[in-house]
Amino acid sequence: MPASGWIEPVTLRSGKRRWRVHWYDPGRRHRSRTFDKRAEAERFQAYVRLRTSGPEIAPPPEVTVGWVIEHLWKPTLKHRAPATRDKNEALIKHTAPLWRKPIRSVTIAEVEVLWDQLLDRGLSYHTVSGVKSQLKLAFDQAMKAEYVDRNVVAASKVERPRVSGEDGRVDPDEVLPPSEFARIVKAAPEWSKEAFVVLAFTGIRQGELAALRVKDWNGTHLSIRHSRSRATKRNSNTGEYGELGPAKTNASIRVLEVPPQVAEILNRRARGKRDDDWLFTGPRGGQLDPDHLRTRAWNKACAEVGVEGYTIHDLRDFAASIMIRKHVPPATISRFLGHAHVGVLYQRYAKFFREDDALAANALGDAFRSLDATDAFA
């Protein structure tokens, strides 16, 4: 009889690949569960093997964070590439101050203190975010094993320290200043400059930009139909990075009228190309990899000009803040950005709408002053 908790690759009639975990319950009845991603199957496999294991890895009376990392998180790295495994193990070591704590007693405040300590030690925001991702996976495994009721790591927040040129530290909620954006673009590699400008002045997502073909641009309007996932490894079958899939939501499928300056860039990039050619390409002229745009262009340019804490996704916030401050109707902004509904705009960018309070008050005051019977209210 096979060992409990083994993974079987399954190919559906549609050609899609799935991953099925098989195991035997305490009554020796066969069970199985299918997952879309191998990583998800491996995490569940680790959980199954723990629950059906012998006494050699039986949980201690009080399960600690370190025990969960060793027996639930670490087995998920088994089939990872050596470089990825080494990187994730190096990240999780930064959580050592929590290892001896009973996992049920860990609080959000304690986790956030750890993030602050790591930032104070000089770790970058991106590194600390990576540490959080790995510890979150460990707590996810603990939840599946019913050792904790909630994932306090997922609920914690890594404060993003932002340093902006000569001004020093600025408010974490402040959007990327236009002057700093100009400095970043100036320092960026030539192949990425126009991509950054288009992202900042259309608000489209990074994956949406990488999926654009020449046929998606008609000279005045840009059609967003697909999104390309991030992938640092080239697909051996297609020769391309990531997977070209549908847009994030149905609302993400949209047609945008772009500013004249952006139209000039798109016209220049489309000139002389066939309809199916990529509109934006990488440094060697091939398909643009979203990960390379972030790591090899954006991050390096930010480091060169001394701007820390801003991500390439902040260009989307940059575009949103401009439209909000110019009092573009919220429904129009939401459609332009491809939000599922206008509530997403208010939830994510509520801080930018605070300026409208004075505008509303002034409008009501003007109406009040215009009443003929003003004296009646005195």
Residue 222 has a pLDDT of 93
196 has pLDDT over 80: yes
Dist. CA 174–CA 307, nearest whole Å: 13
How would residue 237 be classed by pLDDT, with cut points 50, 70 and 90?
very low
- According to the model, what pLDDT value does residue 106 have? 93
CATH (residue range 6-155)? 1.10.150.130
- Please tell me the least confidently modeled range out of 3-7, 59-63, 342-346: 3-7
Token reading at 131: 């540490």
Average pLDDT for the chain: 81
Contact 195, 288 (CB under 8 A): yes
pLDDT at 376: 56
Model confidence at 115, pLDDT cuts 50, 70, 90, reads very high
pLDDT per residue as tens digits for the range 296-317: 899 899 888 888 778 888 898 8
Domain edges within the chain = 6-155, 178-353
Please compute the mean of the pLDDT values over residues 111-134 and round it to a whole number. Answer: 86
H, E, C per residue of the chain: CCCCCEEEEEECCCCCEEEEEEEECCCCCEEEEEECCHHHHHHHHHHHHHHCCCHHHCCCCCCEHHHHHHHHHHHHHCCCCHHHHHHHHHHHHHHHHHCCCEHHHCCHHHHHHHHHHHHHCCCCHHHHHHHHHHHHHHHHHHHHCCCCCCCHHHHCCCCCCCECHHHCECCCCCCCCHHHHHHHHHHCCHHHHHHHHHHHHHCCCHHHHHCCEHHHECCCEEEECEEECCCCCECCCCCCECCEEECCCHHHCEEEECCHHHHHHHHHHHCCCCCCCECCECCCCCECCHHHHHHHHHHHHHHHHCCECCCCCHHHHHHHHHHHHCCCCHHHHHHHHCCCCHHHHHHHCHHHHCCHHHHHHHHHHHHHHCCCCHHHHC
Q: Which CATH superfamily is domain 178-353 in?
A: Intergrase catalytic core (1.10.443.10)
Q: What is the mean pLDDT of residues 26-49?
A: 77
Mean pLDDT of all residues in 109-122: 89
Residue 85 has what pLDDT? Answer: 85
Confidence of residue 201 (pLDDT cuts 50, 70, 90): very high
pLDDT the model gives residue 55: 44
What is the pLDDT averaged over residues 9-24? 82
pLDDT at 112 over 80: yes
pLDDT at position 161, please?
60
Q: When comparing pLDDT for 98 and 225, which is higher?
A: 98
Among 17, 26, 21, 27, residue whose Cα is nearest residue 8? 21
What distance in Å separates the CA atoms of residue 281 and residue 274, rounded to the nearest whole number?
14
pLDDT value of position 164? 43
Q: Calculate mean pLDDT across residues 75-102.
A: 87
Question: How far is 265 from 5, CA to CA, in rounded Å?
Answer: 54
